[in-house]
């Protein structure tokens, strides 16, 4: 099914291990995730993944200790702009993709951060040690790994000094 990612399981494992070690942040007033995928040649990503915005928002909420009701706390806006397979935004019927791109806006406190996040998963035939068998991820596993990595990157780029930790 996902021939092109058979040997990327190590990258997904590294991403999940980094998440476990990084802990979570707190004090974001609002998280707004949108998927507005526009491409000159068209895109079928939202047809294949209609809940991608909600799924990414859920992944972000899992990484943030608490959503506050204080309007002075920062707000986080994420816009998914591109889902593609090796640059092609018309995904195959198998729904494979290996690139995810979006914009992140974090406003509050003394700073405003706007950043573009681009993820790309590639096959690394040398990543599997000799004598080991690579187990390709299922479509759901790969989808979750890409959203997890994207959410991890969003959390990494947030300015910690502007986040209310509740202490």
The tens digit of pLDDT for each residue in 35-48 reads: 998 888 889 999 99
Q: What are phi and psi of 58, to 5 degrees?
A: -60, -40
CA-nearest of 9, 20, 14 to 129 is 9
The answer to whether 8 and 120 have CB atoms below 8 angstroms apart is no
Q: What are phi and psi of 153, to 5 degrees?
A: -65, -40
pLDDT given for residue 89 in this prediction: 93
pLDDT given for residue 126 in this prediction: 60
The tens digit of pLDDT for each residue in 62-73 reads: 887 667 777 777
Please give the share of the chain, as a percent, with pLDDT higher than 70: 72
Cβ of 15: how many Cβ atoms within 10 Å?
A: 19
User: Is it the case that residue 81 has pLDDT exceeding 90?
Assistant: yes
Tell whether pTM > 0.85.
Answer: no
User: Is it the case that residue 137 has pLDDT exceeding 90?
Assistant: no
The tens digit of pLDDT for each residue in 1-32 reads: 344 343 333 333 333 333 333 444 546 788 89
User: Is it the case that residue 90 has pLDDT exceeding 90?
Assistant: yes
Average pLDDT of the chain is 76
The residue ranking higher by pLDDT, 63 or 161, is 63
């Amino acid at each position: 099914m996902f021939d092109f990612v058979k040997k990327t399981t190590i990258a997904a494992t590294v991403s999940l291990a980094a998440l476990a070690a990084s802990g979570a942040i707190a004090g974001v007033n609002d998280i707004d995730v949108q998927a507005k995928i526009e491409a000159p040649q068209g895109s079928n990503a939202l047809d294949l993944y209609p809940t991608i915005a909600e799924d990414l928002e859920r992944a972000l909420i899992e990484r943030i200790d608490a959503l506050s009701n204080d309007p002075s706390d920062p707000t986080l806006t994420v816009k998914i702009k591109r889902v593609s397979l090796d640059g092609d935004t018309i995904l195959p019927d198998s729904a494979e993709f290996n690139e995810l791109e979006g914009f992140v806006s974090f406003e509050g406190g003394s700073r405003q951060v706007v950043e573009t996040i681009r993820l790309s998963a590639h096959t690394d035939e040398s990543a599997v040690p000799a004598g080991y068998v690579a187990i390709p991820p299922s479509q759901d596993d790969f989808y979750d790994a890409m959203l997890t990595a994207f959410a991890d990157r969003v959390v990494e780029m947030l300015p910690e000094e502007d986040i209310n930790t509740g202490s």
